[in-house]
Structure 1
Amino acid sequence: MRLRLRIAAVLGVFVAVNALFVLAVVWAYGVLLPAIVGGTFVLLSDGRLALSLLQFPVSWPTALLLVGLFLAGQLYYGYRRVLAHAGQQTGDSGAGTSETDDHNVDRIVRRLSMTADIPEPTIRVVDDDTPSCYTIGRFTDATIVVTTGLVARLDATELESVLAHEIGHIANRDVTLMTVTTLFLEITDRVYHSSMVARRAVLNPDSLSGQDRAALTWFLPLVALTSVFIAPILWLFPRVADWATRTLSQTREFAADAAAAEIAGNPLALATALIDLTDASETPAADLRTAKIRALCIVPSELVNGRETSSLPPISAASDDEDREQRVRSWLDGTTPSSVDETAGETQTHPPVDERVERLAALAADEEQTRTRVGRA
């Protein structure tokens, strides 16, 4: 419940910031700049200052429509961008037959989908040694991408728990949320960067693009006024969007972990899977604005880049729960906070792995206590 409330609060902030961003841009170019230009002429001609800033250039129904169109555009183009990028990474060229073949991963996902009561997602197994797993698409037509390296790395119970984690993302509609929030972060950052063209022309002219130079040539007064009066207003939005995106991204991982523990019924298996994947993956040093669907992976890692395949490596037999508990304890005892914080700080898309593992271990302990009480009764 606390995770849902936190996600709802962050989403509320996100929608509010979207609305404020649209309203701020409309007000800045529809009221602020015309008032400054007109007020300057009045001041020079009559010697009096006449600025009227407490107004809005469009009606409130029109403003709400603009906000709605802005959000809808992010959703539409965000999906197209993510799906296109994922298609390139997975070699979506029809070379594989994993969508039609019924293999072990298909059967596991089918059973987990029935347990979670969601539409069964499509499975794509990619021939790549990198142990990775992520989900793309919408709630009703989601696709879980699994690499052969992941299947080879994990045992049967760990693989089931990782797939349950992705099912939890689908049930929570996380792909939709992260698609929109990540795109909004890119939009606000680019808009602010564009508003600073005049300043960059003075301080670092070599950084200007062809479009920047064209804007300076044809619209120099507007560019200069934007840099002086509008850029300070736009400065806040990328920072708030960055905070909202990172907070939502990290919180949704905790929620998906909890959902996986409930769906698959083995929190320790997901904990040991996270340990294995963390030890096997190199955390990419990338900002959220360029990470794109890296934020959708179960642990932050480079995207897979292979062909679809219907040939799976053998799935290892499940380990004993006592062995898992010992592995979790040993790993947590040997993990220092500084190293974990450093890993999380490189991308900020995921919470620290040790915190996720600790929460899963606590869930396992709670389940064990519940079983003990039921057995005594």
Structure 2
Amino acid sequence: MHLRLRIAAVLGVLVAVNALFVLAVLWAYGVLIPGVVAGAIVFARHGTIGFDLVQLPASLTTVAVLVVGFLGAQVYYGYRRVLADTRNGDGDADHAVGRIVRRLAMTADVPEPNVRVVESDDASCYTVGRFTDATIVVTTGLVERLDADELEAVLAHELAHVANRDVTLMTVATLFLEIADRAYRSARLARRAVRAPGSVSFQGRVALQWFFPLVALTYVFVAPILWAFPSIAQWATRTLSHAREFAADAAAAEITGKPLALATALSTLAEADRRRPETDLRAAKMQALCVVPADAVSGRSVESVPTPAQPSDEDERRDRVRTWLEGETPSTAGTSRGGPAATDTHPPVTDRIRRLQRLAADEELESRANREGST
């Protein structure tokens, strides 16, 4: 319940920031800049300023329509961008992964998503699409690295994202972060033109040539208004993403009844992730959709899926989790490729594993109490 309230609160903040962003842009270009120009002309001629800057740039109805349209455009464009590199899989795929997803969907009482198994040595798993038209993408490398229970736990984690509509939430959140950052950067065009002329794009040079007064006024008056939005959007995106990962972990543990299986799967994937060449994860637009921070893959779908290894027993998993946690250090516990940037989309793997470890301990205590109560 705490995670749900946290997600709802962050979503409320995100929607409010979207509305405030639209209102700020409208006010800046509909009231502030015209007011400054008109006030300067009036002051030059009459020595007084009579323009009122404290006013709405449009009616509340118009602002509301623009905010709703802004959010709707983000969802529409975000889906197109997320799905651009991924073809839908076959929802009736008759292989091990498809059968596991089908069974988990029935257990969780959610629409069965499509499944696409991609031939790749990278161990990756992520979900794209909508609640009623979702696709879980799994690589052969993931199937080969995990045992049957671990694979089931990872797929349950992805199914929880489908049930929680996380793809929709993160699509809007990450896209607004990009929009806010680009808007602030565009507002500082005049500064870039002076300090780094070579970094100005062709469109920027055209704007400087034909609309220099507006570009200058934008830098002086609009950029200070927009500077806070990227930071707020980044905080909201990071907080929302961390909360949704914890919620999906807890849901997967509840669906499968095997929290330690997900814990050992995360440790295995984290170790594999460290061995890959370092890349800037901030450039990977779909990393927030993966079970751990990783580049989403695209490739040829396969029909012949490797058979998952036999699962380990609970005592062995418990020892693996304890050994992995004891081997972590402050410098490696929360990092992955790209260093701290990885935690922008996912909480540290160590924190996720510790939570799953506590869930397993609670389940064991509850099971022991039930056995003692029945005797």
Q: Would you call these one fold, judging by a TM-score over 0.5?
A: yes
Hey, what does 1:365 align to over in structure 2?
A: 361
Hey, what does 2:299 align to over in structure 1?
A: 306
Runs of 4 or more above 6 Å deviation? none
Between the aligned partners of 2:279 and 2:176, the Cα distance in structure 1 is 21
Between the aligned partners of 2:306 and 2:112, the Cα distance in structure 1 is 23
1:98–1:308 CA contact under 8 A, matched in 2: no
2:90–2:114 CA contact under 8 A, matched in 1: no
Hey, what does 1:5 align to over in structure 2?
A: 5
Q: Give the counterpart letter for 2:320 in structure 1.
A: R
Q: How much is the aligned-residue C-alpha RMSD, in angstroms?
A: 1.4
Q: Give the counterpart letter for 1:317 in structure 2.
A: Q
Q: Give the counterpart letter for 1:354 in structure 2.
A: T
Hey, what does 1:37 align to over in structure 2?
A: 37
Shift of 1:315: 1.3
Between the aligned partners of 1:237 and 1:78, the Cα distance in structure 2 is 19
1:18–1:71 CA contact under 8 A, matched in 2: yes
1:351 counterpart = 2:347: yes
Shift of 1:39: 0.2
1:269 counterpart = 2:264: no
Hey, what does 2:172 align to over in structure 1?
A: 180
Hey, what does 1:159 align to over in structure 2?
A: 151
1:111 counterpart = 2:111: no
2:177–2:233 CA contact under 8 A, matched in 1: yes
Q: Give the counterpart letter for 2:54 in structure 1.
A: L
Q: Give the counterpart letter for 1:55 in structure 2.
A: Q
Hey, what does 1:240 align to over in structure 2?
A: 232
Q: Give the counterpart letter for 1:174 in structure 2.
A: D
- Matched residue of 2:285: which SS? helix
2:284–2:295 CA contact under 8 A, matched in 1: no
Question: TM-score, normalised to structure 1's length?
Answer: 0.95
Question: TM-score, normalised to structure 2's length?
Answer: 0.95
Q: Give the counterpart letter for 1:190 in structure 2.
A: R
Aligned match for 1:208, one of 192, 200, 205: 200
Q: Give the counterpart letter for 1:31 in structure 2.
A: V
2:42–2:49 CA contact under 8 A, matched in 1: yes
1:138–1:176 CA contact under 8 A, matched in 2: yes
Aligned match for 1:293, one of 286, 290, 298: 286
1:285–1:346 CA contact under 8 A, matched in 2: no
Shift of 1:98: 5.3
Hey, what does 1:80 align to over in structure 2?
A: 80
Hey, what does 1:128 align to over in structure 2?
A: 120
Shift of 1:100: 4.6
1:35–1:51 CA contact under 8 A, matched in 2: yes
In structure 1, runs of 5+ residues without a counterpart are: none
Between the aligned partners of 1:287 and 1:272, the Cα distance in structure 2 is 23
1:22–1:66 CA contact under 8 A, matched in 2: yes
- Matched residue of 1:307: which SS? coil
